[in-house]
Amino acid sequence: ILGFLYLKTEYEDENYSDIIPTFTPKKRLKIGTFKVETSGFRLGERFVKIIFDNALERNVDEIYVTLFEDRPELKALEDLLTVWGFERFGEKSTNGKKEAVFVKHLGTYTNTLSVKQNFPNVLLNKQKFIVPILAKYHTTLLPDSKLNTENEIDFLGKEPHKYALQKVYISWSSERNINPGDILIFYRMGEENSNKKYTSVLTTIGIVDRIKFGFSTKEEFLSTCQNRSVFSKDDLESFWKKGRKNLLVVKFIYAKSFSKRLTLEYLWNNNIVSAPNGPRPFMRINNIQFQDILVQSNTKIKFIKE
């Protein structure tokens, strides 16, 4: 067994008398067990995604976990949770032993925290872009958004980017006005020799975490992309040789797959893209277009309005 995750919904009448300071009554998701074997791929990050998905689905106000701090392997788990916005709240006493209590709040956005620390709390009032991705790279980067016609994803393959909740998109786009918190809609380009009017589809929502360009060294570029990109080290080195001056790396967080895939024909018919073209990298769309995409794709995602 590589990992084990146990989650429990707790309600306002839960007894928290063993936690100091005392929890106020709220609906919470308790992480009862979170155990991951140390490995080269990010199974722990995959578990974080499952925790967030369940928290949103169960409509809880907070997520919490209690951790003993006397074991080295739990320090790595504490560090992982802290990176994703869990904060030390207090202590829990059980049979004379003390555990640290870590809490993550949902439904609010804290501007002093990073996009990553706030996630899955996401702001609506941000720029929105459509981002094309070749079919051959799409599903290995965004395995949760695979098409029904594609093979099952081997999540046990040693490809860390499949597990990663934070991923990397590489482009030579001249667009540089991209900011943390901006919303990305990934557009899977249809395979060559297919009718792209129907085979090119919108699949995924991502949230910009960080962007980086103007790399001074190849090593800086490689370390930025490491283990979060679909590309091999040889691919990345060829990109560096091909056009180092214009390289743009966007670190984004996978947020949601569309329930229904909207085609290139939809983009044409709704005047989002001019026929017979497809969207260019980082093509802006407005709020009305974005809301219509959510409605027409039957996709519910909770945004916070400032």
- For 184, residues 6+ apart whose C-beta sits below 8 A from its C-beta are 128, 129, 130, 131, 169, 205, 206, 207, 208, 250, 252
Instruction: Report residue 174's pLDDT band, with 50, 70 and 90 as the boundaries.
Output: very high
- For 228, residues 6+ apart whose C-beta sits below 8 A from its C-beta are 160, 161, 164, 166, 167, 168, 251
Residues 131, 73 share a domain? no
pLDDT digits (tens, 9 = 90+) for 216-268: 999 999 999 987 888 888 999 999 998 889 999 999 999 999 999 999 999 99
Residues 74, 177 share a domain? no
**Over 70: is that where the pLDDT of 45 sits?**
yes
In a domain, 301, yes or no: no
Average pLDDT over residues 8-12: 98
pLDDT value of position 159: 60
- Which comes out higher in pLDDT, residue 292 or 157? 292
Q: How many CB atoms lie within 10 A of CB 132?
A: 17
Q: Is 257 exposed, middle or buried (0-12, 13-18, 19+ CB in 10 A)?
A: middle
Spatial CA neighbour of 109 closest among 97, 119, 95, 98: 119
Tell me what percent of the residues of the chain surpass a pLDDT of 90: 71
Instruction: Report residue 140's pLDDT band, with 50, 70 and 90 as the boundaries.
Output: confident
Structure tokens at 70: 């006397």
Residues 259, 145 share a domain? yes
pLDDT value of position 75: 84
Residues 126, 60 share a domain? no
- Which comes out higher in pLDDT, residue 163 or 200? 200
In a domain, 68, yes or no: yes
By DSSP bridging, strand 62-67 and strand 28-36 are parallel
What CATH number should be reported for the domain holding residue 163?
2.30.130.30
Question: 3-class DSSP state for residue 220?
Answer: helix
Spatial CA neighbour of 34 closest among 66, 56, 58: 66
Residues 128, 97 share a domain? no
What CATH number should be reported for the domain holding residue 42?
3.40.630.30
**Over 50: is that where the pLDDT of 69 sits?**
yes
Domain that residue 230 falls in: 122-296
pLDDT value of position 115: 97
In a domain, 221, yes or no: yes
pLDDT value of position 232: 86
pLDDT value of position 267: 97
Average pLDDT over residues 138-158: 66
Residues 179, 51 share a domain? no
Residues 289, 157 share a domain? yes
**Over 70: is that where the pLDDT of 38 sits?**
no
Boundary-marking domain end, from 106, 139, 172: 106
Average pLDDT over residues 189-194: 85
Number of domains in the chain: 2
Boundary-marking domain end, from 106, 139, 167: 106
Boundary-marking domain end, from 106, 134, 158: 106
- Which comes out higher in pLDDT, residue 212 or 158? 212
Q: Contact at 8 Å (CB) between 49 and 17?
A: no
Q: Is 60 exposed, middle or buried (0-12, 13-18, 19+ CB in 10 A)?
A: buried
Q: Which of 17-31, 174-188, 225-239, 288-302 has the lowest mean pLDDT?
A: 225-239
In a domain, 269, yes or no: yes
- Report the distance separating Cα 297 and Cα 304, nearest Å: 20
Average pLDDT over residues 52-68: 95
pLDDT digits (tens, 9 = 90+) for 84-96: 999 999 999 888 8
pLDDT digits (tens, 9 = 90+) for 95-114: 888 999 999 999 999 999 99
pLDDT value of position 40: 45
